[in-house]
Amino acid sequence: MSLPPYIPVSQVMRKDVTFVDGLIDVLEALKIMKRVQATCLIIEKRHEHDEFGILLFSDIAKKVIAKNRAPDRVDVYEIMAKPVVSVSPDMDIRYCARLFDNSGISHAPVVDNGDVVGIVSYYLLVLEGLPDLD
C-alpha cells in the first residue's frame, strides 16, 4: 500500500483550534483542554508583531508535573513553545511528517495568510492521512 500522490495538510488537520491568552495559569488551560477535548492550545499573539505560541500536554507533563510545580501557580507563557514552526494548508503530508522529524516537534499550527486555520499532529497525519483504515 502506498500513499496517493498528494494529500494536503488541510485534508487531515483539525479545524477547531482553541486560542488562549498566555497569561492564564496552567490549571485553567487544562480545564479548557479537557472541555474542548484538545491535546494542545494555540497562544494568542499579544500584538501584531508578535508570534503565536503553542501549549502541549507534554509541556505540562515535563515542565509542571515532573518538576512538582503547582499548575495554578504557573502561567502558560512560562512553559509554552514560542515561536512555533507552522505549516501551510497546501503542504503535502509527507513533507509535514519530515518537517516534524527534522524539527523534533509533534504538532504545528496550520497558517494561511497569517491566520491559524487548523492544527496538525503526527496523530492526525497517521490516522487521517493513511488510506484504507476504515
Read off the CATH number of the domain in which 71 is found.
3.10.580.10
Would you say residue 1 lies in a domain? Answer: no
How high is the pLDDT of residue 9?
Answer: 98
The total domain count for the chain is 1
From first to last of the 134 residues of the chain, give the pLDDT tens digit. Answer: 576 789 999 999 999 999 999 999 999 999 999 999 999 999 999 999 999 999 999 999 999 999 999 999 999 999 999 999 999 999 999 999 999 999 999 999 999 999 999 999 999 999 988 876 55
User: Is 110:10 a contact under the CB 8 Å cutoff?
Assistant: yes
Would you say residue 82 lies in a domain? Answer: yes
Residues spanned by the domain of 64: 9-129
How high is the pLDDT of residue 108?
Answer: 98
How high is the pLDDT of residue 1?
Answer: 57
Would you say residue 122 lies in a domain? Answer: yes
Would you say residue 134 lies in a domain? Answer: no
Q: At what angle do helices 93-103 and 122-129 cross, to 10 degrees?
A: 150
Report if pTM > 0.75. yes
Would you say residue 109 lies in a domain? Answer: yes
Would you say residue 15 lies in a domain? Answer: yes
Would you say residue 2 lies in a domain? Answer: no
Would you say residue 102 lies in a domain? Answer: yes
How high is the pLDDT of residue 35?
Answer: 97
How high is the pLDDT of residue 129?
Answer: 85
